[in-house]
Amino acid sequence: MKLVIFGANGPTGRQATAQAIAEGHTVTAVTRHPGDFPLSDPRLRVAGADVLDPGAVESAVAGQDAVISAVGVPYGPKPVTVYSDGMRHITRAMTKQGVRRLVCVTSTVLFGVPAPDETFFFRAVLEPLIARTIGRTVYDDMRRMEGIVTDGDHDWTILRPAGLFDADQVSDYRIATSRLPGRFTSRADLGNALLRQATGDRHVRAFLDVRTTQGVPGFLDVIRKEALGGRK
């Protein structure tokens, strides 16, 4: 297939790009800093573009079979609009170019239900604290983005992973249409789930939790490395 990946230079985007190339797909990797992109392959085209530039987005979407968005920004106090504005440009470009399949990433927090089989402190104190304080502006814009996606008529799937961490290989991760137990999702697993959904049609117009069950790190280690940096 021909796939375009927005946010391709982030850790999750790189995973999705590398795995797609390895499976023989043709990939257009969209990044604001093409000179920094670490991957190269005859089946890869690196496009220097900003998701906030509608003309550049449409150019990247043209001729593709499916769109993957792994766009992400760090937590911070300032209002965030890149998820919603970027997705508005992506969906408009898809409509103009006749591209149907869309897969993107938000967060397990947006299920709006407590994590199953979790401690009371995590469910009632820690997760709500993160969602309503340091992560509030990001999650607010993710909700706006989901609204743009679900209001459209594309064949969409939204992945809602848990806390992200780095791993070398794809594991036997779990996927479901409701919130799963567990606190973490590896970027290798998330990249694979993005690719599986973009190249298939099993979960069209569905929200999917993606959860890693093997080799997960300690909670405090992830908070120190990931939450405060907000890497996607």
- Per-residue pLDDT tens for 109-139? 999 998 888 888 888 888 888 888 889 999 9
- Write down the pLDDT at residue 159: 98
Round to whole Å and give the CA distance between 88 and 146.
10
Average predicted confidence (pLDDT) for the chain: 93
- Write down the pLDDT at residue 125: 85
- Helix axes of 187-198 and 11-22: crossing angle, nearest 10 degrees: 50
- Write down the pLDDT at residue 2: 98
Residue 230 pLDDT level (bands cut at 50, 70, 90): very low
Overall average pLDDT of the 60-69 stretch = 98
Residue 78, pLDDT above cutoff 70:
yes
Round to whole Å and give the CA distance between 223 and 133.
14
pLDDT tens per residue, range 169-228: 999 999 999 999 999 999 999 999 999 999 999 999 999 999 999 988 876 666 666 555
pLDDT tens per residue, range 80-108: 999 999 999 999 999 999 999 999 999 99
- Write down the pLDDT at residue 18: 98
- Write down the pLDDT at residue 66: 98
Residue 229, pLDDT above cutoff 80:
no
* Residue 28: C-alpha distances to residues 40, 113, 176, 192 (Å): 11, 36, 28, 17
Cα angle: 59, vertex 85, 111; to 5 degrees? 120
Residue 77, pLDDT above cutoff 70:
yes
**β-sheet bridge partners, residue 212:** none
pLDDT tens per residue, range 23-62: 999 999 999 999 999 999 999 999 999 999 999 999 999 9
- Write down the pLDDT at residue 51: 97
pLDDT tens per residue, range 143-174: 999 999 999 999 999 999 999 999 999 999 99
